[in-house]
Amino acid sequence: MATVKEQMEAFSTKAEDILDSFGQPLKPYIPAMSRFLIIATFLEDSLRIIMQWSDQLTFMQQSRHFPTGLSHLFLGLNVIVMLAASFFIVVKKHQAYAIYGLMGVIVAQAFGYGLIFDMSFFLRNLSVMGGLMMVLSETMVKRKQMFAALPQMSESNRRMYLQLAGRILLIFLFIGSAFHGDWSIMRVAVSVCGLAACIMVAVGFKAKWSAMFLVLFLSVLNVFVNNFWSVQHSYYKRDFLRYDFFQSLSTVGGFLLLVSTGPGGLSYDEKKKEY
């Protein structure tokens, strides 16, 4: 007679096979979709700076006390780096440099806009960095395939650590959202389920399942919570909601890439395969 654990594993395996069969037609397109979603916040941010150029300059000069020339340089470099790096990530050229450039933009904006101690901004950007690390780990897979005849042990180890760091950083957006706002019975139930999925992603246990759950959950939550299109155009909150919306999209892209590539060697799922 099968034990409860064996029954659960059999059910889990069967459910995974069913999900794989339904998701098979989308598999070739998932990496491209995830990359586009990951850079979505940088494209939105660069276009927002361009469209609000005079307002951005005024803020940098009056609120942040940037000298006139330095404020132009700071904003201009941000736009150029974000647009160029996003382009290279989409076309899969010079991806490592592009990712380092976008990470540099995140750090520069945290200091430039005075948001370094804003916890919500900090946690959201950790998640965006997690998505970028997932892309960076994927580029190492490509290089490993190109130079299969050469020793790649160190590259493989770097890839595993990047995947682990990417998985852990991705969950910070949900953790920050889970403890922000008014509480209700429904919110507690949703937060518990989401946090359980985050823990599973972090340790790499049923990581693809958990990541897919978070993709669906965050997508629905993003539409209802960050619905900037329903706010009046002149309302100041519209820009904040739009910023949060596209940052959440980027995190969703990171989870989607995790669904496509798997959790990596430093995970419970991979260790289990060895036994």
Phi-psi region of 205 (alpha: psi -120 to 50; beta: other; left: phi over 0): beta
- Give the orientation angle of helix 40-51 with respect to helix 30-38, to 10 degrees: 40
pLDDT of residue 207: 86
Segment of 2-6, 15-19, 214-218 carrying the highest mean pLDDT: 214-218
Q: For the chain, which residues make up each domain, given as ranges? A: 32-273
Q: Kindly report, residue by residue over 16-65, the tens digit of the pLDDT.
A: 666 566 566 777 788 899 999 999 999 999 999 999 999 999 999 999 99
Q: Is the pTM of this model over 0.75?
A: yes
Q: What does the mean pLDDT of the chain come to?
A: 84
Q: Kindly report, residue by residue over 76-116, the tens digit of the pLDDT.
A: 999 999 999 999 999 999 999 999 999 999 999 999 999 88
* Res 261 pLDDT > 50: yes
Q: Please state which of the ranges 182-191, 197-206, 209-218 shows the lowest mean pLDDT.
A: 182-191
Q: Which residue has the tokens 């629905």?
A: 220
Tell me the C-alpha distance between 90 and 123, whole Å.
25
Q: Kindly report, residue by residue over 133-160, the tens digit of the pLDDT.
A: 999 988 875 444 444 444 444 667 888 8
Residues 6+ apart with CB under 8 A from 143: 155
pLDDT of residue 188: 80
Pick the closest to residue 104 from 84, 82, 88 (CA basis).
82
In three-state form (DSSP H/G/I as H, E/B as E, the rest C), the secondary structure along 33-72 is HHHHHHCHHHHHHHHHHHHCHHHHHHHHHHHCCCCHHHHH
pLDDT of residue 1: 45
Tokens representing 194 are 């989401």
* Res 172 pLDDT > 80: yes
SS3 75: helix
**Does the CA dihedral 94-26-161-141 come out positive or negative?**
negative
Tell me the C-alpha distance between 197 and 255, whole Å.
12
Nearest 10 degrees: CA dihedral of 113, 118, 121, 126? 110
CA separation (Å) from 71 to 57, 62, 143? 6, 10, 39
146-154 contact pairs (CB < 8 A, 24+): none
